Amino acid sequence: DGGITQSPKYLFRKEGQNVTLSCEQNLNHDAMYWYRQDPGQGLRLIYYSQIVNDFQKGDIAEGYSVSREKKESFPLTVTSAQKNPTAFYLCASSILPDIRGTEAFFGQGTRLTVV
């Protein structure tokens, strides 16, 4: 079945360590996105990529980095510069480059806890 796979589902890291969250899709979608979800708040966009080897900062990119070397993969690295990294992270994709006018597909999310 086609879909978006995020791994791992739960991740624990010590403060000061970088950590990479995986996102893979087999939907052949050009555009991929990373969102952060905090309790009581709407999802906020971290980074997005509309095509391989290109990505753009979202609203809260500081302390995060991404790469898009393959169409299927869009890993997110949470660096030690991110001041409050504990959150739920969701990866999404859309068949059209502009998510505003097309259906979005989401992964199951990764819950990151930094201790």
Partner 1 sequence: KNEVEQSPQNLTAQEGEFITINCSYSVGISALHWLQQHPGGGIVSLFMLSSGKKKHGRLIATINIQEKHSSLHITASHPRDSAVYICAAPREYGNKLVFGAGTILRVKS
Binding site for partner 1 (CB under 8 A): 31, 35, 40-45, 48, 50, 56, 58-59, 88, 90, 92, 97-109, 111
Choice between 12 and 97, CB closer to partner 1: 97
DSSP the chain: ---EEEE-SEEEE-TT--EEEEEEE-S--SEEEEEEE-TTS--EEEEEEEETTEEEE-TT-TTEEE--SBTTB--EEE-TT-S---EEEEEEEESSS-GGGS-EEE---EEEEE-
Q: How far is the CB of 89 from partner 1 (least distance, A)?
A: 10
Q: Toward partner 1, which CB reaches closer, 37 or 73?
A: 37
Nearer to partner 1, 75 or 109 (CB): 109
CB of 2 to partner 1, least distance (A): 14
Comparing CB distances to partner 1, the nearer of 44 and 80 is 44
